Amino acid sequence: MNWGVKVIDKLSQDLRKEFPDMKGFSVRNLKYMQTFGAAYPDHELVQEVLTQLTWFHICPLITRIKKPDERVFYLKKTIEHVWSRSILTY
């Protein structure tokens, strides 16, 4: 087994153990966070998006749209038009 293969699995277990009353530390959610961080290294964009959209909105964009420019377009349009998650997943 390569080093680091189960890092997110172990991190998920450790975070849930350390913060039992907090939610959002599932393996899947941590992978979404990793993908989001890698896709958007621009701190200003991340701050803008996270203050105006919920994680519930961001996850479908991360999983369905692979091109970073397209994701930014939909993130901004979601904010501009106050799109619901169901519109994003349609």
Angle at 38 between CA 36 and CA 40, to 5 degrees: 65
Q: For residue 32, what are its two tokens?
A: 């979404």
Predicted local distance difference test score (pLDDT) of residue 52: 86
Predicted local distance difference test score (pLDDT) of residue 4: 65
Q: Identify the helix (H) or strand (E) that includes residue 79.
A: helix 68-81
Predicted local distance difference test score (pLDDT) of residue 50: 75
Q: Are 71 and 62 in contact (CB under 8 A)?
A: yes
Task: Tell me how far apart the alpha carbons of residues 23 and 27 are, in angstroms, rounded to a whole number.
Answer: 12
Helix ranges (DSSP H) in 19-67: 27-39, 43-52, 55-64
Predicted local distance difference test score (pLDDT) of residue 10: 93
Q: Tell me the mean pLDDT per 10 residues along the chain, length 90.
A: 76 95 92 84 76 86 85 88 86
